[in-house]
A = this chain, B = another copy of it.
Amino acid sequence: MAIYLEYWVIDNPTERAKLTISLSDIAERAGVSVKTVSGALHGGSARMSDETRQKVKAIAEELGYVTNLAARGVRQGWLPLVGVVSDGLITSPFATEIVRGLDGAARSAGMAVFAVNHSTGQSIGSVLDEVQQFRPRAVAYAAMYHKDVDLPGTLAGAVGVMINCREAAGRVTSLVPDEEGGAREIIRYLLAAGRRRIAFINLPGILAGTLREKGFRAALEEASIEPLGVFPAVRRSVYSDRAPSLVASHVDALLASGQKPDAILCGNDRVAMEVYAALARAGCRIPDDIAVASFDNQVELASRLDPPLTTMALPHRAMGRLAMEILLAGQPEPPHLRKLPFHLVERASV
């Protein structure tokens, strides 16, 4: 990966000069050793006279000294960076939340996050090597949607935590949304609102869908209520955004059936949007005739629907924050699977 290009460079002389100031420049000016300067600026606990420390700090400030982390890094063996490898995560609207969670926790520890996309056709090993060249303090792996990920054996030791996915062999601590619990919670909420005839238009062919269906059935069984059925939102067994939607036809069929639902749970907010449209065409009012609830809390969408949509928010930010805490924690815990709770966002559709 040799670099032979000519690059744009910082072209403000003052700004450039600032970045070439070194500890020895400060030491010379202050009449002390480099070690003393290092201690004064970076060594919080290094003992020295307060006078010396203040003097050194003043000179550093005056010269506009900016720490050179690369130099510190070569000494310590690592840079204060946390690498995030993702399977195209960066394209997802949820990515921002995960990264926000990571970033917030990282920065308070003086770390920066750099994300590297695992582009299709590239082996995960080679992406990881790319990341390791920077000698990051820790590495996380993040998935775009909740799934199982097979980490090659040799790499399991290189990744500190998995976000939004489960490491297949259980060798790496994995943080995932509690799909089953989330489904149970929203069903209990619908039951508490007096709804009894509940249908679920689910996302087929993905792990989240499977787990949510379990929660859906469990919560209804708990209340001794028969589910009105679970219907796939799209025809294809593997969920895809491009698959033709079956939502409208399911809604029409449900309305035409003897058992008209009084609540429809949706696999995500987009499905809910289609349900809204189908119900509007049929002249059904939300929530008076039929309550609608879903998963995702895509704010842009959910808050703008009429009525605003009640939906279970995914714990993306929390996963990011917790991931960073685990990475930066003193004592590594043994690998485990941690399910993080959804968060109910009450609006007006129930």
Structural contact, B2 and A44, CB atoms closer than 8 A: yes
A5 at the binding interface (Cβ < 8 Å) = yes
Q: Please tell me how many copies of the chain the complex holds.
A: 2
Structural contact, A96 and B92, CB atoms closer than 8 A: yes
Structural contact, A91 and B96, CB atoms closer than 8 A: yes
A3 at the binding interface (Cβ < 8 Å) = yes
Structural contact, A90 and B99, CB atoms closer than 8 A: yes
Structural contact, A15 and B155, CB atoms closer than 8 A: yes
Structural contact, A70 and B70, CB atoms closer than 8 A: yes
User: Which of B1, B4, B44, B326 makes the CB contact (< 8 A) with A4?
Assistant: B44
Cα(A155)–Cα(B154), bound, Å: 45
A14 at the binding interface (Cβ < 8 Å) = yes
Structural contact, A71 and B69, CB atoms closer than 8 A: no
Nearest neighbor of A113 in chain B, beta-carbon distance: B114
A42 at the binding interface (Cβ < 8 Å) = yes
On chain B, the residues within 8 Å of A137 by CB distance are 7
User: Which of B18, B80, B157, B270 makes the CB contact (< 8 A) with A14?
Assistant: B157
On chain B, the residues within 8 Å of A109 by CB distance are 3, 5
On chain B, the residues within 8 Å of A147 by CB distance are none
> Which of A81, A133, A154 is most buried by chain B, counting CB atoms within 10 A of its CB?
A133
CB pairs A–B below 8 angstroms (7 shown): A4-B44, A12-B158, A15-B158, A81-B114, A91-B96, A92-B96, A298-B300
Q: Which residues of A pack against B, CB within 8 Å? A: 1-16, 18-20, 42-45, 66-71, 73-74, 77-81, 90-93, 95-96, 99-100, 103, 107, 109-110, 112-117, 129-130, 132-135, 137-139, 154-158, 160, 270, 273-274, 277, 280, 298, 300-301, 304-306, 326-330, 332
Additional A-B contacts beyond A93-B96, A300-B301 (13; CB < 8 A): A1-B110, A4-B45, A7-B328, A9-B138, A9-B332, A14-B154, A79-B79, A91-B96, A112-B116, A113-B114, A113-B115, A115-B115, A270-B300
